[in-house]
Amino acid sequence: MSASVFFPLDKQQVVGVIGGGQLGRMLALAARRMGVRSVIWTGGLEAPAVEVADEVIDLPFDSAEAMEQFCKIATVATVEFENIPLETLQGVKKKIGLYPSPHAIGICQNREREKNFLRENNIPCTNFWVIETEADLEAAMNELNGPGVLKTAAFGYDGKGQLKIEGCENPAEVWEKFEKQRAVLEAWVPFEKEISVMVVRDSSGAMKTYDPAENRHRNHILDVSIVPATVSGETSEAARTIAKQVAEALDYQGIIGVEFFVNHDGSLVVNEMAPRPHNSGHHTLDACATSQFEQQLRVALGLPLGSTRLNSPCVMLNLLGDFWKSETEPPDWTDLLSTEGAVLHLYGKRRAKGMRKMGHTTIVGEGAIEKAESLKRNWL
């Protein structure tokens, strides 16, 4: 499948985006605003980015034909999600350049590699054990001697592939329940809050951070991000510093989200990293000088980094599928559209389901939290 738009390739920058979800859609829209064309490689999955892209390659991520087409059309590439085969990423990098690098994505796409990276670089993270066998699990549970979370080493996100344990269970039964998948056992962190910092770093090593966002979840899915996070100035600065340390140690090029747990004493622990634009950075479209999507494109295109200034405090509310009246009938938007400071973003997904991310709204200005809560109450 291919969109019908034809464009001359000479001297025209064409950004190739691997992945066609809402992040790809917002990248393609940012590209269009900058006069840059885009080609989306969907991986053969349902792809909200398709309708705003100039060209589409609707083939799986391991297709040699897709790689060839993609690298012929695109002049440079980026990703909008991390679970892409490493060989594909390496192939694209070799042909046209990929931002961020396969090395950085490879670390962030696998919890075991991610945790080892954090530990090796002395970046504060949860205590963890790598689990390959039932015996490993038994030893780790004995050492942990308390609550924890078992997480699959590969392909986990939004709480998927996770099992909370109290510590008193029978390891054999836990291992059976977890289907004996290679895993990481993490100590449970009795955190006070969750925050994240978006950092952008260019090829020369220049870096900028956005104000930390405070993230609240519903059923393991991001519900609202409050920016700036309600933490002390010290904690906020420490989060920015650690986030930069992560980007530096990865020799990162592009935008990366670093997620933290904030302990009750204000100290920080890195939970995980997202090597791409992140849901907690969506507010940057409406409340910051430069959006996270534009920053990603700037790095890929070798342009200077943009300002990360927050123009106004704000709240980003995810519009999840459970707000919809039925699979195909959205909620009544009247209240949202009449709310001072609210901007509606919909991703063009045809069907709403459970906690599916259908869109988001950013509400800027004072009282944004109350406004977001009131909108939610009407829809749920």
- Residue 16 CA to residue 343 CA, distance in Å, equals 28
- What backbone phi and psi angles, to 5 degrees, belong to 69? -60, -45
Q: Which is nearer to ligand AMP, 94 or 164 (CB)?
A: 164
CB 268 to ligand AMP: min, Å: 13
Q: How many CB atoms lie within 10 A of CB 8?
A: 6
Q: Which is nearer to ligand AMP, 88 or 126 (CB)?
A: 126
Query: Applying CB under 6 A, which part among 22-30, 41-49, 152-160, 284-292 lies near ligand AMP?
Result: 152-160
Strand partners, 40: 17, 56
- Residue 166 CA to residue 235 CA, distance in Å, equals 29
Which of 217, 309, 325, 353 lies at the binding interface for ligand AMP (CB under 6 A)? 217
Which x/- pattern over 245-284 shows residues binding ligand AMP (rule: CB under 6 A)?
A: --------------------------xx------------
As given in the structure block, the two tokens for residue 359 are 């869109």
Query: Applying CB under 6 A, which part among 54-62, 155-163, 301-309, 350-358 lies near ligand AMP?
Result: 155-163
- Residue 272 CA to residue 186 CA, distance in Å, equals 12
Which of 78, 88, 126, 339 lies at the binding interface for ligand AMP (CB under 6 A)? 126
Question: Which amino acid, one-letter code, is at 45?
Answer: L
- Residue 291 CA to residue 277 CA, distance in Å, equals 10
The site for ligand AMP, by CB under 6 A, has a size of 13
77 sits near ligand AMP (criterion: CB under 6 A): no
Q: Which is nearer to ligand AMP, 186 or 211 (CB)?
A: 186
As given in the structure block, the two tokens for residue 264 are 């009750």
- What backbone phi and psi angles, to 5 degrees, belong to 183? -145, 170
As to burial, measured by CB atoms within 10 angstroms (0-12 exposed, 13-18 middle, 19+ buried), residue 266 is middle
Map the footprint of ligand AMP across residues 37-66, applying CB under 6 A: none
Contact 335, 376 (CB under 8 A): no
333 sits near ligand AMP (criterion: CB under 6 A): no
CB 152 to ligand AMP: min, Å: 10
- Residue 194 CA to residue 6 CA, distance in Å, equals 45
Residue nearest to ligand AMP (CB): 189
225 sits near ligand AMP (criterion: CB under 6 A): no
- 3-class DSSP state for residue 148? strand
CB 261 to ligand AMP: min, Å: 7
* CA dist 74 → 7, 18, 40, 190 (Å): 12, 11, 9, 46
CB 223 to ligand AMP: min, Å: 11
Contact 243, 199 (CB under 8 A): yes
CB 147 to ligand AMP: min, Å: 8
Query: Applying CB under 6 A, which part among 88-96, 149-157, 236-244, 275-283 lies near ligand AMP?
Result: 149-157
Q: Which is nearer to ligand AMP, 126 or 362 (CB)?
A: 126
**CA neighbor of 141 nearest in space, from 174, 111, 190, 113:** 174
Q: How many CB atoms lie within 10 A of CB 254?
A: 28
Question: Which amino acid, one-letter code, is at 152?
Answer: T
CB 344 to ligand AMP: min, Å: 26
CB 103 to ligand AMP: min, Å: 21
Map the footprint of ligand AMP across residues 182-201, applying CB under 6 A: 186, 188-189, 194
Q: Which is nearer to ligand AMP, 159 or 205 (CB)?
A: 159
Question: Which amino acid, one-letter code, is at 242?
Answer: I
Q: Which is nearer to ligand AMP, 54 or 272 (CB)?
A: 272
Element (H, E) at 25: helix 22-33
Strand partners, 310: 288
Q: Which is nearer to ligand AMP, 96 or 355 (CB)?
A: 355
159 sits near ligand AMP (criterion: CB under 6 A): yes
Q: Which is nearer to ligand AMP, 235 or 271 (CB)?
A: 271
DSSP structure string for 264-288: TTS-EEEEEEESS--GGGTTHHHHB
Which of 77, 92, 149, 352 lies at the binding interface for ligand AMP (CB under 6 A)? 149
Binding interface with ligand AMP (CB under 6 A): 126, 149, 156-157, 159, 186, 188-189, 194, 217, 220, 271-272
